[in-house]
Structure 1
């Protein structure tokens, strides 16, 4: 009874507690309610980036839109990744940690408010960076500086690593602020943004090699990244709901509307299915040193999945106001899905340190329906905007969305029939090649 009372007191009274580091080998570690609350702000951020991408594509600003989108997704995803990395190592759910997390949530929302400005500036040939985005990003990162300082003071075993994160994050924030307030030529500013992003990603890897790792939990990280992946898949469902809602308002329910609705949901389910065909948690718990390249692959994966939702939002805009050809819609759906499938394969290869060429036939078969969707889009009223009043347009649109969904389904079926054997073989080969990792991961 005393143990239960002490545990309940700890759960209910969130006073300041020691931050000595979590056990990196703790089994069954799962996401906390605070982490799940934090993730809710990213639902808004990813949705805003998806909507802005769709709007700019509808206006024909393809390359500026893609540039602004990559910048936005990187900023949002990188801040989330750093929060998750710290929480996995030091989350003690005390008063300071909770308040620091809430401040970071405010930063996510401020950054989200800056996204429309970012895309608009890019469309006019300017840098996608702007002061509002930078302020939001800084609000997200400054609490992490303070928390890493706290960890450095209270966890002497990992002090040098924690201090290195303080230095890296501080230098980066000064750099981001300078790019927003100093008027420079667009090319110079964009170059500076690329250098800063590269610095933020590479410096922690080097610091970990020199000063050791923080006590993050590999299994916990696998769960956290999978949860954010599910959030990005939610954009596909939201895009499907929006597109079908507009269609039924214009034409009522029809066979085509049902096909588009089911195809969009099938695409979302198939992406989810494909992602979880990679046994990330199992492998990372045994090979924690592989978490570094694995996490970087997710930065692109979050963007590609969210972009599928943007393609569906673009479909909605095309049906509402026109201005977008069926070919444009087909490309906006097929390209991000193909990218997503390729990135999941890359994630598999990074985790298992294997590049299995026997996956290539399955990949080509998966891409065939996506290529067919693009062909249908190109052949249906070429050069003309989507007009649901034109005969055959609605049918062609439903066929395009259906073919995209078919490509996702082929990937799932192919893995369930034959692909899983490749994973088992690669895992056995990996076990034979080297012993399991030591208790403390070595990112080298």
Structure 2
């Protein structure tokens, strides 16, 4: 047997010099557009990265729990939008261009340092802390833009048009966030809202235009799993809200019952997403991929908002009627969950194969969203509000279960 065969048979390799190893580990460029790794799985680093974002979301949800008002809700929605946009940028970069090397890890950890600093200011984003938050967020966008530019520099000419558009939007967003820093709290919040809405709208258009003539596959199992895992991690805010509420209340039978009923609403969120959306890849062509991605923004926001509302439900457990803003926060969160599931279903690959079954689900979920808002408008006692919303989620899932059985399969079977 030759020496080459012996080495390949035993799996031994020649040693790599320290200098060459460091250069390869730390300075290897990211994957170019088109170099999609379809066999990769979600890494521990990505999960660690997501947990830092959930800390930011937790701080924003805590601020909402302390100020369940229309202004507090709007502030939460805008700040959540900022957080989600940053998460989407970091997630897509790692998915499309990241490597398991020192360069990628270093850039992720650098982002996490900025995110940890941002978390200290998110809770008072509608006050003076908003100025510092704007500066830190702009720095985060600069770092993310540099990563995308590092890919653009090495892309072949046929792939550069869409990344160039993406970078232009990112730079415009950085300028807008920087301009917002010295403004008053209300004006700054308005600029941030403009940034969130504008960025999502423009980038959706860029993505739709790109996928009309797709140059390579983008949707991978790891990307679909990443979005689903983020929803599940944010669902932890529902548990945190219930635990915080119970920890700071007199734990009477009514208070504990209200908390557990509220937690069951979170179970309903999980069930709806896990059985209808999770692990189902979207279609790549035209608007489906963009819609699938950006519908996850209000869906995830609804989950986090419901978690914030749990604290108020427990705090007011002894009230005869739920306070108006709190009632609409909870019922609105459930309604948004129903409606975002309705909206996301047509974007899935599986929808075309079972259009009639999914259409019936869309009809029932739309009716459930209306019923949820009516429940919120009626402002029942907190325990009854939680129970009503939980039963609404249960009834819709039972409908899905029975509908799938009629097709000879169980829910979440492909």
Determine if the TM-score, normalized by the shorter chain, exceeds 0.5.
Answer: yes
Aligned partners of 1:154 and 1:260: how far apart in 2? 57
Q: Aligned Cα RMSD in Å?
A: 3.8
Counterpart position of 2:159: 158
Counterpart position of 2:332: 335
- Note the residue ranges of structure 2 that are not aligned, 5 or more in a row: 1-6, 410-414
**8 Å CA contact retained: 1:48, 1:115:** yes
Residues 1:84 and 2:91 are matched in the alignment: yes
238 and 25 in structure 1: CA distance in 2 versus 1, 3 angstrom threshold: same
- Mean CA deviation greater in 214-223 or 269-278: 214-223
Aligned partners of 1:152 and 1:334: how far apart in 2? 44
**8 Å CA contact retained: 1:369, 1:407:** yes
Counterpart position of 1:200: 199
Deviations 1:334-356 (A, max 9, x none): 22112211111111134348783
1:290-329 matches, within 5 Å, as: 290-318=288-316, 325-329=322-326
Counterpart position of 1:125: none
4 and 363 in structure 1: CA distance in 2 versus 1, 3 angstrom threshold: farther
Aligned partners of 1:44 and 1:185: how far apart in 2? 23
**TM-score normalised by length of structure 2:** 0.79
**8 Å CA contact retained: 1:24, 1:216:** no
1:40-439 matches, within 5 Å, as: 40-57=51-68, 62-120=69-127, 130-156=130-156, 158-181=159-182, 183=183, 186=186, 192-208=191-207, 209=209, 216-247=218-249, 250-252=250-252, 254=253, 256-257=254-255, 259-279=257-277, 281-284=279-282, 290-318=288-316, 325-351=322-348, 352=351, 356=359, 359-361=362-364, 363-364=366-367, 368=371, 371-372=374-375, 375=378, 377-378=379-380, 396-418=381-403
Deviations 1:398-432 (A, max 9, x none): 3332222212212221211126879x9xxxxxxxx
Deviations 1:226-285 (A, max 9, x none): 1110122111111122223334xx245x3x355334323322222111012234544426
Aligned partners of 2:369 and 2:62: how far apart in 1? 27
Secondary structure at 1:154's aligned position in 2? coil
24 and 279 in structure 1: CA distance in 2 versus 1, 3 angstrom threshold: farther
- Note the residue ranges of structure 1 that are not aligned, 5 or more in a row: 122-128, 379-395, 425-444
Aligned partners of 1:136 and 1:154: how far apart in 2? 28
**8 Å CA contact retained: 2:63, 2:124:** no
Aligned partners of 1:417 and 1:21: how far apart in 2? 46
213 and 262 in structure 1: CA distance in 2 versus 1, 3 angstrom threshold: farther
Counterpart position of 2:412: none
Aligned partners of 1:28 and 1:407: how far apart in 2? 39
**8 Å CA contact retained: 1:259, 1:402:** no
180 and 308 in structure 1: CA distance in 2 versus 1, 3 angstrom threshold: same
Aligned pairs, how many?
A: 387
Aligned partners of 2:50 and 2:117: how far apart in 1? 15
Aligned partners of 2:231 and 2:11: how far apart in 1? 35
Residues 1:36 and 2:9 are matched in the alignment: no
